[in-house]
């Protein structure tokens, strides 16, 4: 049982997941700092309202703090914008440049029967089991 557990822990997926979680947490902190320390003050300077958290209305003695919702929405939009422009967009550019450098010799081909992608050296399709030329 210990041997199987050791095998499980040393399998690449577990280690990759652990690294992804740690890096993701660190990246989340980085993006939160970017939003809180740079982007939010910039928006506050433009709008001249640094914090919407104190906005509320009262209805039948109940206090509705809609300012917190506005702060959360603005924070979400800023985080999504920061992630898009600082992570997604550069990665898309990087991937496009890498694909431009690819030669025409692909490692895979398309099965004519089921249109699945299979290795170029395959004699049979692994999806539909049909012979391929």
Over the stretch 66-117, which tens digit does the pLDDT of each residue have?
888 887 887 788 778 878 888 889 888 988 887 776 555 578 888 888 888 8
What pLDDT was estimated at residue 58?
92
Topology adopted by domain 2-102: 1.10.1200
> Which tokens hold the place of 14?
């577990």
Judged by DSSP in three states, 57 sits in strand
pLDDT digits (tens, 9 = 90+) for 26-62: 887 887 787 778 877 787 788 776 677 778 899 999 9
pTM of the model: 0.48
> Which tokens hold the place of 22?
């740690």
End-to-end CA distance of the chain: 45
Domain map of the chain by residue range? Answer: 2-102, 106-133
């Amino acid at each position: 049982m210990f041997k199987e557990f050791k095998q499980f822990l040393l399998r690449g997926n577990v280690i990759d997941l652990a690294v992804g979680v740690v890096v993701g947490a660190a990246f989340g902190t980085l993006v939160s700092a970017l939003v809180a320390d740079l982007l939010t003050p910039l928006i506050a300077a433009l709008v001249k309202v640094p914090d919407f958290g104190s906005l509320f209305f009262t209805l039948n003695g109940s206090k509705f703090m809609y300012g917190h919702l506005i702060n959360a929405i603005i924070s979400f939009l800023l985080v999504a914008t920061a992630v898009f422009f600082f992570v997604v967009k550069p990665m898309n550019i990087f991937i496009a440049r890498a694909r431009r450098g690819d030669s025409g010799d692909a490692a895979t081909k398309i099965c004519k029967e089921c249109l699945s992608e299979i290795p170029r050296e395959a004699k049979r399709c692994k999806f539909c089991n049909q012979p391929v030329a």
